Homo-oligomer: A and B are copies of this chain.
Amino acid sequence: MQYFVIGAGIWGSVIAERIASQMNEKVLVVERRPHIGGNCHSSIDEKSGVECHRYGSHIFHTSLPEVWKYINQFTSFTNYHHTVLTKHAGRVYSLPINLHTINDFYGKSLSPDEAKAFIAQEIAKEGLGSEPKNLEEQAISRIGRPLYEAFIRDYTRKQWEREPTELPAAIMKRLPVRFSYNTDYFSDTWQGIPRDGYAQLFKKLLDHPNITVQTNTAYEDIRDTIPSDALVCYTGLPDALFGYSLGELTWRSLRFEWETHDVQDFQGTTVMNYADSDVAFTRIHEFKHYHPERAKVYASKATVICKEYPKTWQRGDEAYYPVNDERNTALYEAYTKLAAKNPNVILGGRLGAYRYWDMDKAIENALHVFETKIKR
């Protein structure tokens, strides 16, 4: 049996590592982009020395012991804890909406129970029915109108390029609201940034004599050379695999604008959201704050920031987020049925599975797929 992995993102890299180390089989990894690591890719900005996450901020966090144990074979992690801030109407607030946000926004110092009662009043004022009809109603039924209009409305418009009243309530189902001052963005057992960066992590994952990596190589470039009995683990667009024969899946994409500034600290934090419509981007990442322990780079008077603009995906764009609505779910199902006709093809990764996965979920799934479908 020969093994091919299409795409050197986290899912594909873990699959390749397992095949190489656990089955002692050779595996060819091909990657369309000029680098490994998929959207986790990082590289050092030459001028500032800052390690930049080239496809937006990536923070590793997990509560899965087997994933934590697995990934720690290839890197150690810093003690970084992620927090997010947002600018609204010339002030800075803590996200997700928590007791600090509520008290700052309303100019109060309510206790947790007082804040719950206060927000319940704000919600009651709106007199909404029990079944929210859209994202706006869903959000208002959780936090009331003033907080919705400040922190959710315009940001959602920017993120989805649609009116919140036209978006399904389901998107906001898990809008987190905390009545404590806990500002940790993640509540997982383990959290951090790979100490030597993501680029180094992927280099180690794929550093095995059984693994050959070809970057700048698309699936189409090698498709005809793959023997019919080889196993292909495909992490690209599912619809592209079948020539879009059943139609095109919908994705959300992002555009990044990079800037270097000659200041030690541009914004004082890793991620600053922009809640209002006066700027078109949704957030600014400042990557040096992911590695305060790199003291020399951190202290230097140069920093790299990147403005993130959401955009509707078009063929040729990088696909970031699946749009798991009814149409797309059905279409993806149809493609998986096509794929199932060829037992030598496994669809995987965030793209192949048409799922929004955090890094740990991608690793968990890769380990599971390896154990149940590949290992023998």
Interface residues of chain A, those whose CB is within 8 Å of chain B, are 79, 81, 83, 85, 87, 90-92, 94, 99-100, 103-104, 107-109, 111-113, 179-184, 187-191, 263-269, 289, 292-293
Complex Cα distance, B109 from A181, in Å, reads 20
**Cα(A263)–Cα(B104), bound, Å:** 23
Q: Which residue of B lies closest to A85 (CB)?
A: B181
Residues of B within 8 Å of A264, CB to CB, are: 112-113
In the complex with contacts A179-B268, A180-B269, A181-B268, A189-B79 CB distance below 8 A: yes
* Complex interface: chain B residues within 8 A of A263 (CB): 112-113
Pull 27 A–B residue pairs with CB atoms less than 8 Å apart, ordered by A. A79-B191, A81-B81, A83-B183, A85-B100, A87-B109, A90-B108, A90-B109, A91-B104, A91-B108, A92-B99, A92-B103, A92-B104, A92-B109, A92-B181, A104-B104, A111-B265, A111-B267, A111-B268, A112-B264, A113-B264, A113-B265, A179-B268, A180-B265, A180-B269, A181-B268, A182-B269, A189-B293
Known: A100-B92, A104-B104. A268 touches B81 (CB 8 A): no
Closest beta carbon of chain B to A376's beta carbon, Å: 37
Quick one: closest B residue to A91, CB to CB? Answer: B109
Interchain CB contact under 8 A, A180 and B112: no
Residues of B within 8 A of A99 (CB): 92, 268
Q: Copy number in this complex?
A: 2
In the complex, which residues of chain B have a beta carbon less than 8 angstroms from the beta carbon of A190?
Answer: 79
List B contacts of A267 (CB < 8 A): 111-112
With the chains together, A289 CA to B184 CA distance in Å? 13
Give the residues in chain B near A187, CB-CB below 8 Å. 292
The answer on a CB contact under 8 Å between B111 and A266 is: yes
Whose C-beta in chain B lies nearest to the C-beta of A112?
A: B265
Q: How far is the CB of A69 from chain B (nearest CB, A)?
A: 14
Partner pick for A91 among B87, B103, B182, CB 8 A cutoff:
B103
Kindly state the separation between the CA atoms of A296 and B293 in the bound complex, as whole angstroms: 36
Q: How far is the CB of A272 from chain B (nearest CB, A)?
A: 8
B85→A265 contact, CB < 8 A: no
In whole angstroms, what is the CA distance A263 to B179 when docked? Answer: 13
A107 and B91: CB pair below 8 A?
yes
- Of A109, A111, A266, the most chain B CB neighbours within 10 A belong to A109
Report B-chain residues with C-beta under 8 Å of the C-beta of A182.
268-269, 289, 292
The 4 tightest CB contacts between A and B, nearest first, are A180-B268, A112-B265, A181-B269, A181-B268
Chain B residue contacts of A100, Cβ below 8 A:
85, 92, 94
Assembled-state Cα–Cα distance A261/B256 (Å): 49
Which residues of chain B are near A109, meaning CB under 8 Å?
Answer: 87, 90-92
A151 to chain B, nearest CB (A): 15
Instruction: State in angstroms the CA–CA spacing of A92 and B264 once bound together.
Output: 28
In whole angstroms, what is the CA distance A112 to B272 when docked?
A: 13
Contacts of A108 in B (CB 8 A): 90-91
Supposing A112-B265, A263-B112 touch, asked if A181 and B107 sit within 8 A by C-beta, the answer is: no
Complex CA distance for A112 and B92, rounded to whole angstroms: 13
Docked pose: A68 CA to B132 CA in angstroms: 51
Chain B residue numbers with a CB within 8 Å of A107 are 91
Find out whether the CB atom of A81 lies under 8 angstroms from the CB atom of B111.
no
CA–CA, A184 and B112, complex, Å:
22
Contacts A112-B264, A113-B264 supplied; 5 other A-B pairs, CB < 8 Å = A79-B190, A112-B263, A179-B265, A180-B265, A182-B292
